Structure 1
Amino acid sequence: MAELLSTAPEDIERAARALKEGKLVAFPTETVYGLGADATNTTALARVFEAKRRPTFDPLIVHIARSEELPSVADLSQLSAERRTLVTRLIEQFWPGPLTLILPKQPHVPDLATSALPTVAVRLPAHPVAQDLIRRTGLPVAAPSANPFGYLSPTRAEHVKEQLGNKVDFIIDGGRSDVGVESTVLDLSSEEVTILRPGGLARERIESLIGPVHQIDRTTKHPTAPGQLPSHYAPRAALSLYPAGGIPLQFPAQGERTACLFFSDASRAQWLASFQSANPGMEAPLCQVLSHSGSLIEAAANLFDLLHQLDALAVDRILAERVPDRDLGPAINDRLYKARGEAKGNH
């Protein structure tokens, strides 16, 4: 079982030594907890894929501690002068933070980290513990989310312990992740600047800096960045996704323990009034709310935490409504969409 570490300097130093020895260390970032390994060590990288049961065609994100370290993993000379200027503007504005850049890779970056693609995914996390750990390691650190492939991403150390406890050497407990959804992945390696995965940095903020960007279809079967597969981030319960206000008032399945997941207190109250009118005397199902005030920032931070709670309650089915499709809304809806699991035949 993984040993739990604190955020004290001596524990972070111990975790850094472990990474340099090829061990796996789960650590907090502002988005979700990452499963860290030395990005230059193919044996350590192989352990990541084994621990997560992750297919090797799904590339990893390489984390660095300072923007000055970017040229050590990305070959910016392959970009045009105009595109290099764009990279600089994005880094100055949004790093450290929940933005991953897809760039041409340096030849020494192992193919296992990039799924043999000519590009590498790079991020500079904002969490001080993550920065300190990577800096003490003195190496780029590959760190996908610290959960089994396809399952809910962890936003607390206990989530990591529950899902990967016997496959990780150390877990640094840094409290709950603030953002709560993975980073936005932006491809700068091809002709068209493209968001490959919506995430913790809203598209509107990127476009306010560099102008319109393309967004890839989320149903791709051939990922060029993490989190692109159509079924991902799934709880144990079957999840059905509905338009805002569209959760049904009757549940055909008998004997199932159902929970409803609403965006705000207002949407929950409106649905409960309709449910009680349509089903007089019937007990309403368990109802959870992503944000009491209707804040998309709060909803993103609470998403995986609430889904973990519903898993712990062993509900059979989750009926979730989409959130407004603005700011962090596309990232939340993307996670809910992929949590459905196409094999389940959900809405």
Structure 2
Amino acid sequence: MDTKKVNLKKGLEEDVFRTAGEVLQSGGTVAFPTETVYGLGADALNPSAVKKIFEAKGRPQDNPLIIHVADWEISPYAKEIPPKAQEMMKAFWPGPLTIILKKTEIVPLETSAGLDSVGIRMPSNEVARALIRALGHPIAAPSANISGRPSPTNYERCVEDLDGKVDMIIGDGSSIVGLESTIVDYSVSPPRLLRPGYITYEDLLGIDEEVVYEEAKTRVEEEEAPKAPGMKYRHYAPKAPMTIFRGETQKVENEILRQIDEMIKNGKTVGVFAPIERKSVYNGKNITFVSMGTQSDLGEVARNLFEGLRRFDDAQVDVILSEGFQEVGVSRAIMNRLKKAASFHIIEV
């Protein structure tokens, strides 16, 4: 497939969106920026178009997609919108919040992965909303990467993963959030937080104190159908196996240093993923150090997370040793992604 690639430099270029809209209307696929991560979009109401997303990504067919809207009228796609869900929309849309609702028949089962519910989000990114308007109705879009790999937060990573697999790629800088949207399920009672994100659990409780979050429920068993993206399969993962170390700072540093020496002695190339404040700790070791950002700014850590994981692939390290975080606020979302990237291999020290 010959992928049309456009990296926007002058804002919303009308001819680009005319072309992209035609691609989507004809059942094609377009990768595009959002404030969370880059998405791979197709007409959410066209079953054959939606299937092309799964094919391009190598995505399991039982992994549901989120539909992205550009305006507030979602009643054609949702059977009912509970009052608290409406309050969530008013508080956090447009933005990085997905709300799961009982779907109407207009949303194909291919989009919802056979479920009677669908996740809906209104992105704040202007390019994303312009693309949705160019199509004329919702776009179904997971992250624009090969399934299981770290999500792309810039144009270059989209091209790396999807060139030759999709019809068009639109670039427009780096994602400002860097983590996929928070997902809260209002198709059940009480509502459940299924995927933490930049909009935190604490933020949600400020609107609806009945929202429940159970960490053990964020990874479903093989025989179960996931209700939201990122719940069942290995996600966000670099090529090398990764271990997370969590605990008191000095103990974490000491254990990582010990493991570095042991890995190098065994002929392994080692990557270390940690806040920039820790770089001096690992100086002098023959490793690839990738900074998460400063530990005093979790928003920066979130923005850097996926690109940092991809840099270990660039360096072709054999193993990755990552520092972890306590899980509160945005760090809950950061750890959610890190744990899945590490296949839940965590060492408490």
Give the structure 2 partner of residue 219 of structure 1: 219
Give the structure 1 partner of residue 77 of structure 2: 73
Select which of 219, 237, 242 maps to 2:240.
237
Select which of 98, 107, 110 maps to 2:108.
110
Per mean C-alpha deviation after superposition, the further-off stretch among 314-323 and 238-247 is 238-247
Give the structure 2 partner of residue 325 of structure 1: 327
Measured in 2, the distance between the counterparts of 1:206 and 1:292 equals 26
Measured in 2, the distance between the counterparts of 1:174 and 1:307 equals 21
Kept in 1, the 8 Å contact 2:37–2:180? The answer is yes
Q: 2:27 aligned with 1:22, yes or no?
A: yes
Letter in 1 for 2:296: G
Deviation at 1:294, TM superposition (A): 2.2
- Aligned positions of 1:172-211 closer than 5 A: 172-211=170-209
Give the structure 1 partner of residue 68 of structure 2: 63
> Aligned with 2:256: secondary structure?
coil
Letter in 1 for 2:307: D
Letter in 2 for 1:62: I
Per mean C-alpha deviation after superposition, the further-off stretch among 179-188 and 194-203 is 194-203
Kept in 2, the 8 Å contact 1:198–1:334? The answer is yes
Letter in 2 for 1:39: A
- Aligned positions of 1:1-347 closer than 5 A: 1-5=2-6, 6=8, 7-68=12-73, 70-76=74-80, 84-216=82-214, 217-221=217-221, 222=224, 223-229=226-232, 231-244=234-247, 245=249, 246=252, 247-250=255-258, 251=260, 252-253=262-263, 254-265=266-277, 267-269=278-280, 271-272=281-282, 283-292=285-294, 294-341=296-343
Count of aligned positions: 328
Measured in 1, the distance between the counterparts of 2:72 and 2:285 equals 55
Letter in 2 for 1:218: T
> Aligned with 1:180: secondary structure?
coil
Kept in 1, the 8 Å contact 2:4–2:168? The answer is yes
Measured in 1, the distance between the counterparts of 2:178 and 2:29 equals 22
* Deviation by residue 1:220-269 (Cα, 9 ceiling, x = unmatched): 1231111112521111121111104325222323221111111341x444
Deviation at 1:326, TM superposition (A): 2.0
Letter in 2 for 1:302: N
When the two chains are superposed, the root-mean-square deviation of aligned CA atoms in Å is: 1.7
Measured in 1, the distance between the counterparts of 2:210 and 2:304 equals 29
**Regions of 4+ moved over 4 Å:** none
Letter in 2 for 1:229: K
Question: Relative to structure 1, is the Cα distance of residues 283 and 116 closer, same or farther in structure 2, using a 3 angstrom cutoff?
Answer: closer
Measured in 2, the distance between the counterparts of 1:142 and 1:219 equals 23
Measured in 1, the distance between the counterparts of 2:151 and 2:339 equals 14
Measured in 1, the distance between the counterparts of 2:233 and 2:23 equals 34
Measured in 2, the distance between the counterparts of 1:74 and 1:200 equals 24
Kept in 2, the 8 Å contact 1:230–1:341? The answer is no
Kept in 2, the 8 Å contact 1:238–1:316? The answer is yes
> Aligned with 2:90: secondary structure?
helix
Deviation at 1:284, TM superposition (A): 4.6
Q: Taking structure 1 as the reference length, what is the TM-score of the superposition? A: 0.90
Measured in 2, the distance between the counterparts of 1:283 and 1:106 equals 57
* Deviation by residue 1:67-106 (Cα, 9 ceiling, x = unmatched): 12x1121111xx6xxxx21122111110000000000001
Measured in 1, the distance between the counterparts of 2:94 and 2:180 equals 14
Uncovered stretches (5+) of structure 1, i.e. residues with no partner:
277-281
Per mean C-alpha deviation after superposition, the further-off stretch among 138-147 and 293-302 is 293-302
Deviation at 1:188, TM superposition (A): 0.5
